[in-house]
Structure 1
Amino acid sequence: MRSFETGIMGEDNSRNLISGHVKWFDPTRGFGFVVAEDGGPDILLHANVLRNFGQSSIADGSAVTVSVQHTDRGVQALEVHEVVPPEGDGRAALEDLDFPDTDHSDLPLEPARVKWFDKGKGFGFANVFARPEDVFIHVEVLRRSGLADLQPGEAIGLRVIDGRRGRMAALITSWDSALRGENEPSEASEDVD
């Protein structure tokens, strides 16, 4: 593996580390674009590159650090190194759910699979391993977690709170991210495929 350099990429096709933000990403189309902090052309972010990081989607506006390469077709991300979810936009989208806006990193990470998620409706459900009840997932929690969409059967990690209507996700991470040690998975994590 080559070493990384910070700055705009050279014409020698060497990898460079770039910080920026997601302009947009469409998991259905399988790609999106990143805008570099220092300007320059948009950077193509392909779904396969994002999947190698352990996510199938990413929220618009998320801060990212990527390795890029200049090609005949433009600038392309080769590897995602870091994703930071976008800041809140000031809307109280979760007010109707009686959702406290606090840090939930002290809650245990529960292994789960997405049952279904409809971005248009703004919610979905997941099944936590070895638990009979569903966990409600709100699109705003998904966005705050740095994700844009979820696919049925996708393995995820959830930090769950008890809401007025039952268990609901307070924080969501891709299971691959949890296994890399970015979160503390529960003991049941070894049973998730």
Structure 2
Amino acid sequence: MPSGRIRWFDTKKGFGFIAGDDGKDVFLPQTALPSGVKTLRKGAKVEYSVVEGNRGPVAMGLTLVASAPSLVKATRPKPDDMAAIVEDLIKLLDSAGNGLRRHHYPSQAESRKLATLLRAVADDFDVQD
């Protein structure tokens, strides 16, 4: 049974490609996914059978051997560190809220800093499993 790694898979499009261990790319339709699996992460190790389709090899009967590790999860700050970051962010938001109550928007530099911090904290919370 051939094996390889997921090169990419798009749930919305309903297909992706496997980079086979033999160096050949194999088309992966969503119908080949195992029961209960809706999507696959890039780099996941898989085994599959191959049938010849109209445009080349097509994977069928896919088996997930090993899921790709989550880089986001591996690089997340420790919970204690994240708690301190969130508390500092709350102080900044509270200060901005007080200014807004007095009908005063933060300066452009303060707004950019706050927006950058919010995005960074959101990225630490947003884990794609």
User: 1:65 corresponds to which residue?
Assistant: 47
Q: CA deviation at 1:72?
A: 2.6
Question: Alpha carbons of 1:122 and 1:83: their partners in 2 closer, same or farther (altered >3 Å)?
Answer: farther
Larger proportion of helix: 2
Partner AA of 1:28 in structure 2: K
Q: TM-score, normalised by structure 1?
A: 0.39
Alignment of 1:8-157 (within 5 A): 17-40=1-24, 42-50=25-33, 52-87=34-69, 89=71, 92-95=74-77, 97=79, 138-139=127-128, 142=129
| Distance apart, 1:69 and its partner CA | 0.9
C-alpha displacement of 1:78: 1.2
CA spacing shift, 1:28–1:95, aligned 2, 3 Å:
same
CA spacing shift, 1:90–1:47, aligned 2, 3 Å: closer
Whether the 8 Å CA contact 2:44–2:64 is kept in 1: the answer is no
Q: Residue type matched to 2:127 in 1?
A: H
**Unpaired runs of at least 5, structure 2:** 81-121
Pairwise CA distance, 1:97 = 4.3
Percent of aligned positions with the same letter in both sequences? Answer: 30
TM-score (norm 2): 0.56
Higher alpha-carbon Rg: 2
